Amino acid sequence: MTVRVGVIGAGWIGMEHIRRLTDTITGARVTAVTDIDAARAEEAAAPVGARMLPDGAAVVAADDVDAVLVTSWGPTHAEHVLSAIAAGKPVFCEKPLATTAEDCLKIVEAETAHGRRLVQVGFMRRYDAGYRRMKQVIDSGRIGEPLIVHCAHRNPTVPESYTSHMAALDTAVHEVDVLRWLLDDEIVSTQVVTPRATSKRFAHLKDPQIMLFETAKGVRIDLEVFVNCQYGYDIQCEAVGEEGLVRLPDPASVGVRTTGQHSTEVLTDWVGRFADAFDTEFREWIAGIAAGDEPTGPSAWDGYAATVITAATVVALESGRVVATDLKPRPAFYGGAA
Ligand SMILES: NC(=O)c1ccc[n+]([C@@H]2O[C@H](COP(=O)([O-])OP(=O)(O)OC[C@H]3O[C@@H](n4cnc5c(N)ncnc54)[C@H](O)[C@@H]3O)[C@@H](O)[C@H]2O)c1
């Protein structure tokens, strides 16, 4: 079966995923595209032989669309996801699931009422080979019970439009999701401390930030978010357990020895770092739909948790306090207590 995908939002990542579904993944075909910018929709649709449709509702309703991909701006996600659930169609929504807890809960309620999982949220790190190996080690018990996790999320630079709140909402959101999954645990409180600011930032920005999370089981996570580190795009994660530790591998790179030095490359952009993870994420999503299975990736509940935890982290940054995340209990539909 070829899964026919309709795409809502043909911007940067929409175009990336259309290319991925067309050239990299087998078993999928993009049949419909919409964007509020008609020229963009046309530019995305024409090369892959897809129809251009007037809006998201038309994409969801189209007879030649089996599954919906939402890659529009964050505040528009909830509307499109809810309409896909109402039509009973699988929907992949790029992060965030929605920008408010209320909208996330509306999606959770609609999917629960439907009675079968339809929603997957685009947290691609769960598909990264290194994180997957880390999870296997943690789940096997080889390092004992996890106690502490040290993480860093570093970007070389960010544009002037990047705000201090985006450190939680757009950057740390990926660690929030992958750590909940790695530890099979929930984040119950968040705090942000700000060390001396780098002179390389735009003046309005608090950079770096150190985020401190506590989980329900008492694991402590420290996450350095440093988005003007200059030297590269660098993702670090080390889980310390009672009997050992497990560390995320750096991307494979040849060692170079020359003029008295031994060096390896550091990547400079996130696209290259997670390209394989994006491919695997879509390969598994499409294979699951073709097999008639429910999605196994990040759920609407995970999308809700990420939105609530990152919003609490913004409050923590502004207040300087430890902020409880106050998540609702996880419903049985999503696996019950974490
Ligand atoms: N998983 C990741 O690492 C990752 C990476 C990049 C972007 N994203 C997410 O993907 C989403 C899109 O990001 P982007 O960088 O492609 O942004 P973008 O601005 O390049 O593209 C968004 C597109 O959506 C269109 N659009 C907006 N509202 C619409 C609507 N209601 N109906 C149809 N089209 C609409 C815009 O015209 C634009 O072309 C964001 O939510 C972003 O957070 C996720």
pLDDT digits (tens, 9 = 90+) for 188-200: 999 999 999 999 9
Q: Which atom of ligand 1 is nearest to the CA of 170?
A: 43
Percent of the chain's residues with pLDDT above 90: 97
3-state secondary structure 60-120: HHCCCCCEEEECCCHHHHHHHHHHHHHCCCCEEEECCCCCCHHHHHHHHHHHHHHCCCCEE
Does residue 187's CB lie within 6 angstroms of at least one atom of ligand 1?
no
Percent of the chain's residues with pLDDT above 70: 99
What's the gap in Å between 247 CA and the centre of ligand 1? 32
DSSP string, 211-234: EEEEETT--EEEEEEETT-SS--E
Does residue 128's CB lie within 6 angstroms of at least one atom of ligand 1?
no
Rounded to an integer, what distance in angstroms lies between the CA atom of residue 95 and that of residue 254?
Answer: 33
Q: Which atom of ligand 1 is nearest to the CA of 41?
A: 39
pLDDT at residue number 337: 65
Q: Which atom of ligand 1 is nearest to the CA of 13?
A: 16
Of 14-18, 63-67, 132-136, 334-338, least confident by mean pLDDT is 334-338
What's the gap in Å between 167 CA and the centre of ligand 1? 18
pLDDT at residue number 322: 98
Mean pLDDT, the chain, rounded, equals 97
pLDDT at residue number 336: 75
Does residue 121's CB lie within 6 angstroms of at least one atom of ligand 1?
no
pLDDT tens digit string along 69-107? 999 999 999 999 999 999 999 999 999 999 999 999 999
Residue in 19, 37, 73, 176 to alter for ligand 1 test, most ligand atoms within 8 A of Cβ:
73
What's the gap in Å between 224 CA and the centre of ligand 1? 26
pLDDT at residue number 338: 58
pLDDT tens digit string along 156-172? 999 999 999 999 999 99
pLDDT tens digit string along 266-307? 999 888 899 999 999 999 999 999 999 999 999 999 999 999
pLDDT tens digit string along 229-255? 999 999 999 999 999 999 999 999 999
List the residue whose alpha carbon is closest to atom 21 of ligand 1: 11
